A and B are shown apart, each in its own frame.
Chain A
Amino acid sequence: MEPARKETPAHEERQSKPPKKGKRPKRYMSKGMKEGLSGYLFMSPTIFTIGVFVVIPIIYAFYLSLNDVQLLGGIGYEFIGLENYTRTLDDTRAIIALKNTAEYVLIVVPVQTCLALLLAAALNSDIRGKNAFRIIFFLPTVTSSAVLTIIFMWMYNPDGLINSFLSFLSLPTYNWLADPDIALKSIMIMNIWATAPFFMVIYLAAMQDISDSVYEAATIDGANWWQKFIFITVPILKPVTFFVVVMGVIGTFQLFDQSYIFSGGSGGPNNSTLTVVLLIYQYAFKSLDMGYASALAVVLAFIIMIVTIIQKKFFGEEKLHD
């Protein structure tokens, strides 16, 4: 997404070039120094916040992950090397959380990407009421995950709206909230519903940049709407799709709010909605096992950063739009 990666931090000493000598005798401070000073003045809130709440925490997270951390009164550390990391391997709940998260990512990302692409293509065709559709589709994106989850929990009730609708159509009904085989799928449906329109907007912006001339030859050859979509639009949008998939993977890996609200923080029924981030939360803030929780967080961060770096490598300087 960020096109400006050309600049590297090297060769920066040139920036603070000494001012031309003796040009402005009236000033007490040279122009270069003044610029430097105002530069840091402008940057100071950012440097403080990122320093204290991003840079230091990252170093601190590694440190915590190598220690057994005791939170009694003050904080006690006992260095235990990589023990926290090896512990993940025979932690059944960690394995369940990873399995649930992986299942969630593998189902949600492809479905929401296809749905987003389909909706964008439909919206991009020559139809009326585009704005009205777009405004409606976008409602879930502006609504808080807490509200959405609560509304869905009510619709998912055993005698709620969804089961009433299914039995009205003589379809099987489910125990959406309490059946361990279903609960995670209930969250999947809800989040696909909520997230697809967000990615639709990204697709739509990219589609509007495809010039009509691309389609003209195909129209002359008698290609229909579907053929043009499959053989022209989809291949052109490949970089956008790549971006949408990667953003989807990053987002779905971080699933937390919905699982937490759905299960009241437990990850139940029977650990079926336990995700990696929920597990980190439980270890850190319920069991107060911050060392082990940090190790899990570091592993999660590595997975997400690898995905991000792959995206940057492939997506590189390519611009989605301007």
Chain B
Amino acid sequence: MKKKTFTKPFVYGILIIYAVVTFMPFLWAILSSFKPLEEIVSGITFFPENFTFNNYTEIFSREPLFLRWMFNSLFITAFMVVLNIIFNSMAGYALARVKFAGRKFWFFLILVVLMIPFQVTLIPSYLILKAFGWLDTYQGLIIPGMVNATFIFMMRQFFLNFPKELEEAAQMDGLSRMGTFFKIVMPLAKPALAAQAVFIFMSSWNDFMRPLIIMSSEEMFTLTLGLNSFKGQYISFWNLIMAASTLMTIPSLLIYAFFNRYFIKGVTFTGGK
């Protein structure tokens, strides 16, 4: 009994201190986004004394492209999520369930691709996109990222344990492989698809390096690039920069809040980004 009274406050202490340390930068950023500039430059106030929403509207008037950047990020991310879900699941399903020549070879290739750091393909991919005329376009970001070896692998493992009877019944009813897949299999794979969707959303929404290389004109920037250039332009206007940062983070936080369960599942599965 003695030990319990000693360790419990200690454990709570660690957790609470770390929670404060984790939360503080976010709180500080959000609070600052509601402060007028004078309050920011005049020194440190923790809570806003002159609470204002103006920073949020000022971003859009000072930087007319901000709305466009939001659209670009949403558009690219939406495509990435939908295409990845469909294509990764199709490949995972084929590797788990369809008996075709070369199946083992393709599975082995997926395992090899998993080990390759993406930096080595960066420069050649850039030159290939250039040859296609896809630099500075949406498809230049979307097409190379529309499948993901990690999730193909995940979906394969998922479909290995998928009940066979349903598919067999569907095929008896005369549904083709494709029909069975889209009408029977996919609806039953929802939890795995959700985990995948959350992960793809986060990695696409937050991606910095690929857009940096592929997008060159300001109109085509994603929000991460836009935020970086906005920061460069308004370097001492931290109230605006914090408002912009908060805006950029809200979608991820919403997705995280609603799909928290799937997200943790995804992390423990992939163990890496």
Contact = CB atoms under 8 A, between A and B. Distances in A.
Interface of A: 1-2, 4-5, 7-13, 15-16, 32, 34-43, 45-47, 49-50, 52-58, 60-61, 64, 75, 118-119, 122-123, 125, 127, 133-148, 150-155, 159, 161, 164, 193, 197-198, 201-202, 205, 224-226, 243, 247, 250-251, 254, 256-257, 260-261, 264, 277, 280-281, 284-285, 290, 293-294, 297-298, 300-301, 304-305, 308-309, 312, 320-321
Interface stretch (B59-67, B188-196, B206-214): B206-214
Interface string B213-232: 10000000000100110011
Interface in B23-51: 23, 25-26, 28-29, 32, 43-44
Given A122-B15, A284-B122, A247 B104 contact: no
B124 interface: yes
Nearest to B115: A308
A224 B227 contact: no
B206 A161 contact: no
A119 to B, nearest CB: 6
A44 to B, nearest CB: 9
Contact of A54 (B6, B121, B146, B227): B121
Contact of B15 (A1, A2, A133): A133
B267 A43 contact: no
Interface of B: 3, 6-8, 11-12, 14-15, 18-19, 21-23, 25-26, 28-29, 32, 43-44, 83, 86-88, 90-91, 93-95, 98-111, 113-117, 119-128, 143-144, 146-147, 149, 152-153, 156-157, 176-178, 181, 202, 205-206, 208-209, 212-213, 224, 227-228, 231-232, 238, 241-242, 245, 248-249, 252-253, 255-256, 260, 263-264, 267-268, 270-273
A122 B10 CA distance: 9
A300 B121 CA distance: 12
A321 B256 contact: no
A293 B115 CA distance: 21
Given A142-B263, A251-B272, A8 B108 contact: yes
B245 A225 contact: no
A122 B252 CA distance: 27
Contacts of A305: 115-117
Contact of B146 (A45, A125, A250, A300): A45
B94 A43 contact: yes
Nearest to B122: A297
The 7 closest A-B pairs by CB, nearest first: A39-B100, A144-B206, A16-B101, A57-B124, A42-B94, A60-B124, A301-B120
A136 B23 contact: yes
Given A16-B100, A151-B28, A145 B208 contact: yes
A309 B143 CA distance: 29
A293 B11 CA distance: 48
A133 B23 CA distance: 10
B256 to A, nearest CB: 5
B54 to A, nearest CB: 19
Contacts of B202: 142
A310 to B, nearest CB: 11
Given A58-B116, A139-B22, A201-B268, A49 B104 contact: no
Given A202-B268, A260-B212, 14 more contacts: A1-B271, A46-B106, A58-B120, A61-B124, A123-B15, A144-B205, A147-B245, A151-B26, A154-B32, A159-B43, A254-B119, A280-B122, A284-B122, A297-B120
Contact of A155 (B25, B103, B113): B25
B260 A135 contact: yes
